[in-house]
Each structure stands twice: as structure tokens, then as C-alpha cells.
């Protein structure tokens, strides 16, 4: 049984073409794997070098805990303001946050939260509003809170881990974050 020479030639050509495509795909695949491994190694070495050169930049879970509390503080201040505007200026508003427990927030006449004891000035105000809105039960370092009156600006200064983290201006609701300098 003799095969048609044309078919045999086509079959051989197809095998060669398939082999070339297979070889090309293998080369491309190996290049991609090599690039991925190289990028992973560069990333790991860069991170390790960064940690060794800047040991103060390592953020532990306690630092993240403070950052989370600060984010809750800022978010809840803004939510309280929006609710105060929506309800057309009540003396207090009531919220139910993630914890499920309802919280009553006294409001100042300017529409920003007041401290639970009703104070609107001083360290007791700053501490009270932090405790009420940040829900930060335990942190590695103590939170340092100060009341400042500078250039007709009244504000609370919150420091943690030996660094000033942010200022809160109760007259305007402004929060100014401080970036640590190395």
C-alpha cells in the first residue's frame, strides 16, 4: 500500500510547522517564567534592603491598629457631620456602627461632634471625642493628646509612638495628617 507522495510531503511539513510553533511557545514560556522569577527576586531583595536601611519604617500590627482607629475617627466625624446636615441641625445624633451598639453623639452648634461630656474645648474634649469615635481599646503605646490654640486656630493634636500623627480642628472638622520625616 503506497501513499500519495503529496500527502506524505504535507504531513511532514505539518509536523515541522507544529514543531516550530511548539519550540517557539516553549521559548516564550521560559522567558516569561524567567522574568517572573527575576521580578520576584528583585522585589524581595528591594524589600529586605529597605528594611535593613530603614528599620523605623517597619509597621507592626499595633501601628496598623492605630491607623485603623484614626481612620474610624475621621470617617465617623464626617458621617456625624453629614447626618447633622441631613437632619437639619439636631443637638445630638444617633448612630449604630459596626460594633452594633448604638452611640449618641452630641453635636456642636457648628455641626461638628462635641465630646460626650458636652465639652467643646480642651484636652477633655479631645480625649472624649477620640474615645467616642475611634473605638480604640488597646494600643501598644499610649496616645498623647494635646489642646492647642495658635493664631486663632483651636485644635487637638494626636501623637502616637513618639510622633505627631494628626491635628483635628473642631471648628471646621479639618483633619491634617503629619507625615513622619526620616
Which pLDDT tens digit goes with each residue over 107-147? 999 999 999 988 888 999 999 999 888 877 767 778 899 99
Report H helices in the chain.
Answer: 5-53, 61-86, 122-134
**What pLDDT does 24 receive?**
84
**What pLDDT does 170 receive?**
93
**What pLDDT does 50 receive?**
62
Give 76 or 40, the one with higher predicted confidence.
76
Which pLDDT tens digit goes with each residue over 140-156? 778 899 999 988 889 99
pLDDT at 177 over 60: yes
As a residue count, the chain comes to 182
- E strand residue ranges, 3-143: 92-96, 102-106
pLDDT class of 2 with cuts at 50, 70, 90: low
Q: In this structure, are residues 147 and 137 in contact, taking their beta carbons and an 8 Å threshold? A: no
Grid coordinates representing 6 are 503529496
Amino acid at each position: 500500500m503506497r501513499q500519495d507522495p503529496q500527502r506524505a510531503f504535507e504531513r511532514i511539513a505539518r509536523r515541522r510547522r507544529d514543531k516550530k510553533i511548539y519550540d517557539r511557545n516553549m521559548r516564550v514560556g521560559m522567558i516569561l517564567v524567567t522574568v517572573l522569577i527575576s521580578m520576584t527576586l528583585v522585589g524581595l531583595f528591594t524589600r529586605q534592603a529597605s528594611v535593613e536601611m530603614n528599620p523605623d519604617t517597619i509597621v507592626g500590627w499595633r501601628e496598623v491598629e492605630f491607623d485603623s482607629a484614626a481612620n474610624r475617627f475621621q470617617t465617623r466625624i464626617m458621617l456625624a457631620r453629614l447626618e447633622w446636615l441631613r437632619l437639619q441641625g439636631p443637638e445630638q445624633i444617633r448612630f449604630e456602627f459596626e460594633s452594633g451598639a448604638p452611640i449618641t453623639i452630641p453635636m456642636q452648634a457648628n455641626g461638628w461632634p462635641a465630646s460626650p461630656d458636652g465639652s467643646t474645648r480642651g484636652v477633655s474634649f479631645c480625649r472624649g471625642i477620640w474615645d467616642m469615635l475611634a473605638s480604640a481599646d488597646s494600643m501598644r503605646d499610649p496616645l498623647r493628646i494635646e489642646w492647642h490654640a495658635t493664631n486663632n486656630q483651636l485644635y487637638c493634636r494626636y501623637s502616637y509612638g513618639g510622633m505627631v500623627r494628626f491635628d483635628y480642628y473642631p471648628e471646621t472638622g479639618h483633619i491634617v495628617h503629619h507625615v513622619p520625616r526620616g
